[in-house]
Amino acid sequence: MNRKEAIGTALKSLDEEDIALFTTGMISREAFNIADRKANFYMLGSMGLVSSVGLGIALNTTKRVVVFDGDGSILMDMGTMALTACLRPVNLIHIVFDNESYQSTGGQPSAAAYTDLSEVSRASGYRFTHKITGDGVGENEMKRIFEKTGPVFVLFKVDKESNGHIGRVTLEPKHLKERIRKAICRG
């Protein structure tokens, strides 16, 4: 499955109220261009940090928090997986789009070719772990996964190929912060 399709399926499976966070680089850019929404938050920098920020939000809201992470990003801060399992946020879904490479910087291979990150999440103690390979997954199945009690981990194995030029996130950091605050605290 290509990354754009995989991210698109996950985005379509979100409820309007869900808080979604995206790791820096191509995953943010892809999501911003497919379907920007008010409850989306893009990490412009700080690769690796999105899993911690998502965890901090999930522990302080009853809304569902969905983290869109990459293999390179989660490998930088794999200890956060242990912490997530330890704190057991029932409303946290952690998706890793794994292309076994650092595509935002030119496609250099990552260590994920040798490490099954879904097995890492299982061993860390996530409540539910799911691995998606081959042709991928439909929207309905994805929605069913999102309804599991968290912390949930979803590993999406995606193609290495780049989808050509993808535009940058053009929203200002201050605006991104204010709108996600509103989205979290609303209702």
Partner 1 sequence: MDELLKSVFADRDVRYIPAVRENAALGIASGACLAGERSAIFIQNSGLGNIINALTSFNLLYKIPVLMFITWRGYRGKDAPEHRIMGKKTPAMLRLLNIPAVILSREYEKDILRAVGTMERKSIPVAVIIKDGLIK
CB 185 to partner 1: min, Å: 5
Which listed range, 3-11, 52-60, 130-138, 144-152, lies at the site for partner 1 (CB under 8 A)? Answer: 52-60
Residue 96 · residue 117 · CB < 8 Å: yes
Task: Say whether residue 109 binds partner 1 (CB under 8 A).
Answer: no
For partner 1, the closer of residues 16 and 185 by Cβ is 185
In whole angstroms, what is the distance from residue 141 CA to residue 42 CA? 25
What is the DSSP secondary structure assignment for residue 63, as one 8-state letter? S
The reply to whether 171 sits near partner 1 by the rule CB under 8 A is: no
Query: In the complex with partner 1, which residue's Cβ is closer, 62 or 140?
Result: 62
The binder of partner 1 chosen from 1, 44, 107, 115 (CB under 8 A): 44
3-state secondary structure of 22: strand
Q: Does 60 bind partner 1 (CB under 8 A)?
A: yes
Binding residues for partner 1 restricted to 110-169, rule: CB under 8 A: none
Please give the Cα distance from 23 to 27 (Å, whole number).
Answer: 6
Counting other chains too, the contacts that 108-113 makes at CB distance below 8 Å and 24 or more residues apart are: 110/71, 110/72, 110/75, 111/75, 112/71, 112/72, 112/75
What the block records as the tokens of 11 is 């985005």
Check residue 68 for interaction with partner 1 (CB under 8 A): no
Residue ranges binding partner 1 (CB under 8 A): 41, 43-46, 48-61, 77, 79-80, 82-83, 86-87, 173-174, 176-177, 180-181, 184-185
